[in-house]
Amino acid sequence: MAFRWLITVFHGLFFDGGAVAFAFMGAYYMILLPALGGAIVGPMVTFFAPEARGHGVPEIMQAVAQRRGRIRPQVAIVKSLASSICIGSGGSVGREGPIAQIGAAFGSILGGAMRLPEKRVKTLVGCGAAAGIAATFNAPVGGAFFALELILGEWTAEAFAPIVIASVVAASIGRVVFGDVHAFAMPAHEIQGFAELPYFILLGLIAGPMAAIFTRSISLFESIGDRVPLPRWVLPIPGGLLVGAIGLYDPSLYGVGYDKIQSLLTQPQPLLLPLLALIPIKLLATSLTLGSGGSGGVFSPSLYIGALLGFVFGAFANAHLPGASTEPSVYALLGMAALFAGTAHAPITAVLIVFELIADYHMLLPLMVAVGTSVITARFVYRFSVYNVKLVRRGVHVQLEHDIRVLSDISVAETMTRDLETVLCASPVSEVMEVFDRTRHHGLPVVDNEGRLHGMVTGGDLRRAGPDAGDLTASEVATHRLVIAFPRDSLNDALRKMGMAGVGRLPVVDPKDHGHLLGIITRQDVVAAYNRALMRMHTRLQDTQDEEYFE
């Protein structure tokens, strides 16, 4: 509620106040407004909360993946002000990503204040994000699935129940304040029949590549912004000037653009070429806003571009394709869902949110067809979503972070092989080869008569020794400069050492005496331990769900 009020206040200050302050410029005063907003947002974000830069959702995902769900308290304040100023001054971004990040920050603050364990804090982060989306869209189901599908990436009963409760409570409060109305009003339409099903599929096939282009464009401009030789706090000013100039083509390019979307859903649009031209222009304006360091979401821009794409396609289909008679406004609605789904790779969230925006059951099947097709083609064209591409540029892989957490919780001591096969330093190579054949091992520790470690001998060592290896001893062909592991190392540490050294096994030694051999850890041991850990997690989850059921 406060965030939406701030957007309204700053929009009035910039546009109404700017019309008075820069009256001598006529309508051209609007060119300056996004730059003025950028002059405030840039220093605010750079010096107080860099996490508030951009569209917000990747930062939540990173907090969940890497930071145990911890989000700094100042992020909620800075994100509220920075995004409301950016949107209010005409930045071509949306309010949904920021409200999700603000809500997630409140959830993290609450979890930290209550000293809750990591899993509970992450659930509260999801609760906050879901609540924000649910309240701003009056979409409690869509808000809940947004958090489950995008933020947490898991569908457990333990997370589902509190997230649904938070989403419903937030939507209920939003209905008291904003009224029980949907974000967009749309007259009732009926799909004329299954004959148009191929056209819904075709719309998805077009929306998917467009979504991939949108994602790639934002990523490209953010990369360029990172390399521009200007201080980060200055960059939003020239970026804002460019956005301001672009906005003169159509004022709906400023801000969230909901008025334009509403007109596409309810009013006839006689001129299609200007609408078609708005697609690349809106894409450029949003990419510039985010790439230069603005603060705002990508949900509204994706709805804007999708509505334009769907409307133009629907008008073309009605005029030129046989059997097409459904209103272009219906195709605009399908285009909104299809483009967001292809952009976020979140088909369930896209279907549910757009379905709740209009509350028309007849649209559910066309939505599912267009969205499913769009996601498939978008992933084929560009495998990253608009949210995780930003994380990948930072070197963060959400699934990999999950794997690392699993491996970090297991020690080498729990996994290593203690029943060792060793060879003596003086053993001839022929004897070593017999041990290899008998045990099927690919590497063996080389020890002295007292059992102290001197090296490792592998099949590669024997091959490098050449045809004269039969005259040598194990110590003469072995590798003596070893990469070693300690019992308290995690499996993640051991795996990293193996990768850096290019070996498949490590001797495990006493930290106080590197000659005291305790065991061997191999890649196969790590994989087996990882699989066992996943099975234990699954079993614990199933037991928890069974207990909740019987209680």
Q: Average pLDDT of 12-16?
A: 91
DSSP, residue by residue, 311-373: HHHHHHHHHHSTT--S-HHHHHHHHHHHHHHHHHT-HHHHHHHHHHHHT-GGGHHHHHHHHHH
Q: Kind and range of the H or E element at 37?
A: helix 32-48
| Nearest residue to 238 via CA among 42, 511, 434, 504 | 42
More confident residue, 364 or 92: 92
Of 86-95, 357-366, 537-546, the range with the highest mean pLDDT is 86-95
Q: Return the DSSP state at 386.
A: T
Evaluated on CA atoms 153, 158, 161, 166, the torsion sign reads negative
Please say whether the beta carbons of 214 and 386 come within 8 A: yes
Residues paired with 508 in a beta bridge = 485, 519
Q: Average pLDDT of 26-53?
A: 91
What's the confidence (pLDDT) of residue 548?
A: 41
354 pLDDT more than 70: yes
Q: Do domains 2-396 and 407-530 have the same CATH topology?
A: no
What distance in Å separates the CA atoms of residue 204 and residue 378, rounded to the nearest whole number?
A: 9
Q: Average pLDDT of 421-429?
A: 84
For the stretch 496-540, pLDDT in tens is 788 777 788 888 888 888 888 888 888 888 888 877 776 665 565
For the stretch 19-33, pLDDT in tens is 888 888 888 899 999
What distance in Å separates the CA atoms of residue 21 and residue 24, rounded to the nearest whole number?
A: 8
What's the confidence (pLDDT) of residue 105?
A: 92
> 3-state DSSP helix/strand/coil percent for the chain, to nearest 5?
70, 5, 25
What's the confidence (pLDDT) of residue 404?
A: 55
More confident residue, 103 or 435: 103
The rounded percent of the chain whose pLDDT value lies above 90 is 34
Q: Average pLDDT of 76-102?
A: 92
Three-class SS state of 543: helix
Q: Work out the pLDDT band at 544, boundaries 50, 70, 90.
A: very low
546 pLDDT more than 80: no
Q: Kind and range of the H or E element at 445?
A: strand 443-447
Q: Where are the domains of the chain?
A: 2-396, 407-530
What's the confidence (pLDDT) of residue 428?
A: 84
CB atoms < 10 A from the CB of 385, how many?
25
Q: Work out the pLDDT band at 11, boundaries 50, 70, 90.
A: very high
What's the confidence (pLDDT) of residue 549?
A: 37
Q: Average pLDDT of 334-354?
A: 91
| Nearest residue to 31 via CA among 42, 22, 43, 20 | 22
Q: How do beta strands 443-447 and 453-458 pair?
A: antiparallel
Q: Which alpha helices (H) appear in 67-193, and where do they start and end?
A: 73-88, 96-113, 118-137, 140-146, 157-178
Please say whether the beta carbons of 509 and 518 come within 8 A: yes
**What would the two tokens of residue 361 be?**
């059951």
Q: Work out the pLDDT band at 283, boundaries 50, 70, 90.
A: very high
What distance in Å separates the CA atoms of residue 252 and residue 308, rounded to the nearest whole number?
A: 12
Three-class SS state of 134: helix
More confident residue, 62 or 37: 37
**What would the two tokens of residue 50 be?**
């860099």
324 pLDDT more than 90: no
CATH number of 407-530: 3.10.580.10
What's the confidence (pLDDT) of residue 395?
A: 61
Report the range of poorest mean pLDDT among 19-33, 50-64, 107-121, 162-176: 50-64
What's the confidence (pLDDT) of residue 505?
A: 84
253 pLDDT more than 80: yes
**What would the two tokens of residue 172 be?**
């209920």
More confident residue, 423 or 536: 423
485 pLDDT more than 80: yes
488 pLDDT more than 80: yes
What distance in Å separates the CA atoms of residue 102 and residue 117, rounded to the nearest whole number?
A: 21
Evaluated on CA atoms 196, 201, 205, 210, the torsion sign reads positive
Report the range of poorest mean pLDDT among 63-72, 141-150, 300-309, 450-459: 63-72
Evaluated on CA atoms 437, 442, 446, 451, the torsion sign reads negative
Q: Return the DSSP state at 59.
A: H
For the stretch 131-152, pLDDT in tens is 999 988 888 888 998 888 888 8
Residue 204 CA to its chain's centroid (Å): 22
More confident residue, 234 or 363: 234
CB atoms < 10 A from the CB of 510, how many?
13
Q: Work out the pLDDT band at 545, boundaries 50, 70, 90.
A: very low
Mean pLDDT, all residues of the chain? 85
Of 179-188, 305-314, 323-332, 425-434, the range with the highest mean pLDDT is 305-314
More confident residue, 236 or 195: 236
Classify residue 67 by burial, with Cβ atoms within 10 Å: 0-12, 13-18, 19+: middle
401 pLDDT more than 90: no
What's the confidence (pLDDT) of residue 541?
A: 45
Of 22-26, 83-87, 473-477, 489-493, the range with the highest mean pLDDT is 83-87
Q: Work out the pLDDT band at 14, boundaries 50, 70, 90.
A: very high
Full-model pTM: 0.75
The rounded percent of the chain whose pLDDT value lies above 70 is 91
What's the confidence (pLDDT) of residue 193?
A: 64
Q: Beginning with the edge strand found earlier in the chain, give each strand of the sheet holding 443-447 in spatial order.
A: 423-424, 443-447, 453-458
Residues in the chain, overall count: 551
Q: Work out the pLDDT band at 464, boundaries 50, 70, 90.
A: confident
What distance in Å separates the CA atoms of residue 364 and residue 369, rounded to the nearest whole number?
A: 9
Given CATH 1.10.3080.10, say whether it is the number of domain 2-396: yes
What's the confidence (pLDDT) of residue 450?
A: 83
